[in-house]
Structure 1
Amino acid sequence: MSLRLSTVILPYRRWHEGSRSAWVRAEELGFHAGYTYDHLSWRSFRDGPWFGAVPTLTAAAGVTERMRLGTLVTSPNFRHPVTLAKELISLDDISGGRVTLGIGAGGTGFDATALGQEPWTPRERADRLAEFVPLLDRLLTEDAVSYEGDFYAAHEARNIPGCVQRPRLPFAVAATGPRGLRLAARYGQAWVTTGDPKLYEEGTPEQSVQAIRGQVDKLADACAGIGRDVTELDKILLTGFTPDRSRPLESLDAFVDFAGRHVELGFTEIVLHWPIPDSDFAADQKVFERIAMEAPAQLR
């Protein structure tokens, strides 16, 4: 399988002031998928404009025809499986079956306290994700669901007619710990990583590749534990969080070198942040577009 390139377009601009044109251009450039973050706000963008993921993806579905669309990633921090399922089924219908749900445990950022709760511990986040994903799987595949769990409940929740994609839209599970990797193995059509966050500040690119290789090996073990072939899962790398930072976007050759090292680890999709001036995701738009158009052929 040849490497797919995708992009993540952050929802920090009004739709008619740059956001719409970015989604249209992403499809013109041939990206496999266009994703967006599913947050209420995010890091350095907290005090500026920030729009909702599902409405943004719905609008993107209306101005694109081929490119897949998705969240990277949704978490239980402010979502409930019952309401999320209804929104996803609607988005899958509007887009003609082009939606992928990226989903993970979430973190301790602004989403974690926006509803007035204390931030959950890593274990609490893992506990909730372990209940959230199986319930969402049922809600997207069954006409009616009743369920009573430790964190979530559903009472005769109706989701007719279900997803356009059958048996449901694909899950891309973001995980590096053992419990999350087991969820990815059992419920995922893809697995997502950003690398090892402990290496972000002072690690080397070589250490990062080694750490990611270890994650891939643990994913294979999780798959083997349930009798699944790990090659059945797409492996997605969301860039921008490894020690390389923005260096892979400095030139076509730099990106091809970076991507090639990860293709060797089994990655099938690499996701690039759409350039945002004066941010962690600043990059030359012309170089970015050249990478989008020329790198896939060099990586076949």
Structure 2
Amino acid sequence: MRHGIIILPEQRWHQARDRWVTAERLGFDHAWTYDHLMWRWFREKPWFATMPTLTAAATATSRIGIGTMVASPGIRHPVAFAKEIMTLDDISGGRAICGVGAGAGGFDDEALGLRRLNPRERADRFAEFVDLTDQLLREPETTYRGDWFTTTGARLHPGCVQRPRAPLAVAATGPRGIRLAACHADIWVTIAWPGHGEPVRYDEALPVLREQSALLDKECEAIGRDPASVRRLVVTGAMIDGVMESVETYRDACGLLGGIGITDLVVHWPRPDFPYQGDFSVLEDVANEVLLPGRAA
């Protein structure tokens, strides 16, 4: 099992830096931040930009993977985004992870003056976003013409440090998105259910996660891809709860999720209040009893 953590971009860097450095010291394999202009309950609170934050995190660390959780076509054009990922991969020495999702609209769309898309439009736009981003990161020059995105002779030199490109992590909970992940993703990302409704305990989420993972297997097999070539990453703290109550619950969650083929477990940096309220001492205990011994082994 690989272990990851999401750090919200809510602090000035002289404070935030310590969290990224500590995440690496605690033994996490990868660390992420949200990619929004404004986010849900933080619209009136401090909120910093994603790519400068990840770039700073890359220079403050030396081992841990650095990723977007997740970039969406609502605020990103694939050409500019791919160039930023290529640059982040270079600055980090080959540690960038390109996390992408369809996006849910909301405050970001309003801030940019975008019209609200229906579910089919949003899925169509995301399919092109993933397809084009994948091509851009793989090829030195790309020409593409779609309904949502078009580019002529876009050049990405010298390309990513990681080959053939930085890993692509595709967030998907429904059939069409999971099919897209089967075609393009190195890592499939799920929160079990879309949105931010009432969370359920991790053991109660197992049937949904198992069903989604089985669908990913089926879609991979349909295109002749080995299902084992796609990592399976579960993000907890939003729709899946209870993991960070104690070392025991974390270890139990790892066992149960690993038993259905999940390869990566991601939690949130504990905050003093909603959302993702938690106790930092539990995070330290998890590191000392689960993460660091695992790295030593």
- Indicate which of 7, 10, 13 corresponds to 2:8: 10
Is the 1:5–1:292 Cα contact (8 Å) retained in structure 2? no
The answer on whether the counterparts of 1:256 and 1:298 sit within 8 Å (CA) in structure 2 is no
- What residue number does 2:255 align with? 260
Do the aligned partners of 2:196 and 2:238 also contact (CA within 8 Å) in 1? no
Answering whether residue 66 of structure 2 is matched by residue 69 of structure 1, we say: yes
Aligned residue number for residue 34 of structure 1:
31
| AA at the equivalent of 2:206 | V
Q: TM-score, normalised by structure 1?
A: 0.93
Matched with 2:96 is: 99
Whole-Å Cα distance in 2 between the matches of residues 273 and 248 of structure 1? 10
| Distance in 1 between residues matched to 2:76 and 2:243, nearest whole Å | 33
Q: Please show how residues 26-175 of structure 1 align to structure 2 within 5 Å.
A: 26-175=23-172
| 2:264 partner amino acid | E
1:239 CA displacement: 0.5
Deviation for aligned residue 1:298: 7.7
Indicate whether 1:214 and 2:214 are aligned.
no
Superposition TM-score, scaled by structure 2 size: 0.94
What is the identity, as a one-letter code, of the residue corresponding to 1:248?
V
Work out the CA distance in 2 between the residues paired with 1:113 and 1:123.
20
Alignment pair present for 1:196 and 2:193: yes
In structure 2, the CA distance between the partners of 1:288 and 1:281, relative to structure 1 (3 Å rule), is same
Distance 1:101 1:202 in 2: 26
Tell me how far apart the structure 1 counterparts of residues 236 and 28 of structure 2 sit (CA, whole Å).
15
Return the letter of the residue paired with 1:20: R
Deviation at 1:86, TM superposition (A): 1.0
Contact 1:70 1:99 in 2 (8 A): yes
Letter in 1 for 2:48: F
Deviates more, 1:151-160 or 1:64-73: 151-160
Deviation at 1:176, TM superposition (A): 1.6
Confirm or deny that 1:281 pairs with 2:276.
yes
Structure 2: segments with no counterpart, 5+ residues: none
> In structure 2, what is the Cα distance between the partners aligned to 1:207 and 1:179?
24
Q: Is the 8 A contact 1:196 1:212 kept in 2?
A: no
CA displacement, residues 161-209 of structure 1 (integer Å, 9 cap, x when unaligned) = 1111111111011112222111111111010001124895275655421
Distance of aligned partners of 1:19 and 1:198 in 2 relative to their CA distance in 1, 3 Å threshold: closer
Output one character per residue of 1:57-108: Cα deviation in whole Å (capped at 9) or x when no partner.
0000111000010011111111100111111111111111100111111113
Deviations 1:242-294 (A, max 9, x none): 35x2x221211121112221111111110110111112211110111111232
Q: Which of the residues 268, 290, 295 maps onto 2:285?
A: 290
Residue 218 of structure 1: how far off its partner (Å) = 0.8
The letter for the 2-side match of 1:276 is: R
* Alignment: residue pair count: 295
Q: Give the Cα–Cα distance (whole angstroms) in 1 for the partners of residues 7 and 75 of structure 2.
A: 21
Superposed CA deviations along residues 15-66 of structure 1, whole A, max 9, x for unmatched, are 01x2011001111111101111111111111111111111000000111000
1:203–1:294: structure 2 CA closer, same or farther, 3 Å change rule? closer
Deviations 1:106-153 (A, max 9, x none): 113322332101221221111011111111111112222222210111
Alignment match, 1:223: 220
Picking from 158, 174, 177, the partner of 1:177 is 174
* Aligned-residue CA RMSD (Å): 1.9
Which residue matches 2:246? 251
For 1:205 and 1:143, how far apart are their aligned partners in 2? 42
Which 5+ residue runs of structure 1 have no aligned equivalent?
Answer: none
* Structure 1 residues 202 and 275: CA distance shift in structure 2, 3 A: closer
Identity of aligned residues (%): 48
